[in-house]
């Protein structure tokens, strides 16, 4: 079970005897002049500098740059990073990395799934089931046979940096395809995801659910009257009300929806369902059904629907 825990108490690993502990000075044999000068001056390099200087995280560094996360991982933090080495990235199916590099938002989400807020050393963790990442999802921590983070083995711990600590893992770990991540991967719900974040509903739609979401595309949002979206973004409570009107409790597949005349939403009101000519949810046409997620299902609609009150 993935259990969210407080960020300052998280993360990986016990059994120092079973893992090789590497300190930053030993790890960072400075190939980077910037890192070398920092260490000469008596300061410890940050997460990005440490990764660059090691020579073992070239793919990770390239991914961090492509995702626009360099400045974030050079900030004060502190952060705990589960860092896949180059061999870990090499395990990905052929073409996967190129595809991710071409989709920075999806890549960013995956990288944030490797980062936990707080500086947590191996010795600090005794009985941890999971740790909440900067993405918002939690990684599973298993210590029954060595230490595993999701499906990745921790192979090196406690690489100290000026703004956190790095634990090296031997595989890239991937977040669940929950409603949020499925929408992000689709690439056609950027406005919806921005609205969900603004309304404070991201964690809700990452919850166990299950949920059925009637999801308006970016094109659907563009149909709103001029200025309407901006007004909603400026009024998070109203925006939240509208977004919850697009969500039904439970996992209602297309074969179930067509049997309904209406469905009660999380907003409290009911949406009307008309199957006389295709499937209409209020005034919106369902254009794609049964997009499966780990915590529910998405049906794509071509217009934003609004509650009557």
Both 21 and 159 in one domain: the answer is yes
Mean per-residue pLDDT for 217-238? 95
Q: Is the pLDDT of residue 245 over 90?
A: yes
31: left (phi over 0), alpha (psi -120 to 50) or beta: alpha
Cis, peptide link before residue 162, omega less than 30° from 0: no
- Determine the length of the chain: 309
In a domain, 246, yes or no: yes
Both 64 and 155 in one domain: the answer is yes
Q: Which residues are bridge partners to 130 per DSSP? A: 140
Q: Is the pLDDT of residue 23 over 80?
A: no
In a domain, 309, yes or no: no
DSSP-assigned letters across all residues of the chain:
------GGG------GGGSEE--HHHH----SHHHHHHHHTTPPP-HHHHHHHHSS-HHHHHHHHHTT-HHHHHSS--EEEEEE-HHHHHTSPTTHHHHHHT-HHHHHHHHHTTEEES---GGG-SS-SEEE-TTSSEEEEE-SSS-EETTEEEEEEEEEETTEEEEEESS-------HHHHHHHHSS-HHHHHHHHHTT-HHHHTSS--EEEEEE-HHHHHTSPTTHHHHHHT-HHHHHHHHHTTEEES---HHHHTT-SEEEBTTSSEEEEE-SSS-EETTEEEEEEEEEETTEEEEEESS------
The Cβ of residue 258 has, within 10 Å, a number of other Cβ atoms equal to: 14
Average predicted confidence (pLDDT) for the chain: 86
Q: Is the pLDDT of residue 17 over 70?
A: no
Both 187 and 44 in one domain: the answer is no
Q: Is the pLDDT of residue 229 over 90?
A: yes
Cis, peptide link before residue 106, omega less than 30° from 0: no
In a domain, 2, yes or no: no
In a domain, 109, yes or no: yes
Q: Which of 122, 139, 169 is the last residue of a domain?
A: 169
Mean per-residue pLDDT for 209-231? 96
Where does the pLDDT of residue 224 fall: very low under 50, low under 70, confident under 90, or very high at 90 and above?
Answer: very high
Q: Are 302 and 243 in contact (CB under 8 A)?
A: no
Both 45 and 154 in one domain: the answer is yes
Report the CATH number that the domain containing residue 60 is assigned in CATH: 2.30.180.10
Both 46 and 16 in one domain: the answer is yes
- Rounded to 10 degrees, what is the CA torsion of 31, 36, 38, 42? 130
Q: Which residue range(s) make up the domain with 84?
A: 7-169
In a domain, 44, yes or no: yes
Both 136 and 234 in one domain: the answer is no
Between 277 and 14, the more confident residue is 277
Both 93 and 192 in one domain: the answer is no
Q: Which of 169, 195, 219 is the last residue of a domain?
A: 169
Q: Measured between alpha carbons, how far is 183 from 177 in angstroms, rounded to an integer? A: 9
Please compute, for residue 5, the number of CA atoms within 13 A of its CA located in the half-sphere on the CB side: 20
* Burial letters 62-90, b for 16+ CB under 10 A, else e: ebbebbebeebbbeebbbbbbbbbeebbe
Both 44 and 188 in one domain: the answer is no
Q: Measured between alpha carbons, how far is 245 from 182 in angstroms, rounded to an integer? A: 20
pLDDT tens digits for range 39-60 = 444 588 999 999 999 999 999 9
pLDDT tens digits for range 249-282 = 999 999 999 999 999 999 999 999 999 999 999 9
pTM to 2 decimals?
0.78
Both 165 and 20 in one domain: the answer is yes
pLDDT tens digits for range 128-171 = 788 999 999 999 998 888 889 999 999 999 999 999 999 999 99
pLDDT of residue 32: 36
Q: Measured between alpha carbons, how far is 165 from 8 in angstroms, rounded to an integer? A: 13
Q: Is the pLDDT of residue 103 over 60?
A: yes
Q: Which of 141, 169, 197 is the last residue of a domain?
A: 169
């Amino acid at each position: 079970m993935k259990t969210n825990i407080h960020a300052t108490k998280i993360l990986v690993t016990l059994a120092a005897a079973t893992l090789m502990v590497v300190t930053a000075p030993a790890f960072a044999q400075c190939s980077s002049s910037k890192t070398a000068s920092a260490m000469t001056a008596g300061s410890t390099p940050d997460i990005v500098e440490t990764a660059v200087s090691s020579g073992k995280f070239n793919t990770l560094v390239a991914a961090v740059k492509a995702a626009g996360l360099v400045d974030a991982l050079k900030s004060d933090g502190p952060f705990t990073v589960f860092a896949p080495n180059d061999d870990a990235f090499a395990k990905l199916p052929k073409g996967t990395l190129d595809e991710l590099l071409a989709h920075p938002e999806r890549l960013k989400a995956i990288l944030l799934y490797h980062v936990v807020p707080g500086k947590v050393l191996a010795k600090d963790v005794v009985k941890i089931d999971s740790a909440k990442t900067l993405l918002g999802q939690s990684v599973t921590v298993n210590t029954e046979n060595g230490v595993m983070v999701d499906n990745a083995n921790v192979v090196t711990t406690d690489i100290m940096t000026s703004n956190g600590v790095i634990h090296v893992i031997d595989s890239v770990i991937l977040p669940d395809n929950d409603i949020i991540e499925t929408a992000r991967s689709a690439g056609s719900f950027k406005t919806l995801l921005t609205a969900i974040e603004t309304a404070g509903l991201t964690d809700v739609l990452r919850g166990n659910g299950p949920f059925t979401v009637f999801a308006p595309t970016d094109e659907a949002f563009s149909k709103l009257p001029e200025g309407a979206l901006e007004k909603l973004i400026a009024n998070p409570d109203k925006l939240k009300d509208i977004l919850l009107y697009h969500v039904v409790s439970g996992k209602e597949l297309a074969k179930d929806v067509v049997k309904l005349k209406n469905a009660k939403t999380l907003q409290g009101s009911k949406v009307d369902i008309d199957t006389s000519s295709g499937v209409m949810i209020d005034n919106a046409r369902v254009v794609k059904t049964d997009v499966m997620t780990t915590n529910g299902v998405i049906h794509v609609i071509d217009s934003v629907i609004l509650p009557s009150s």
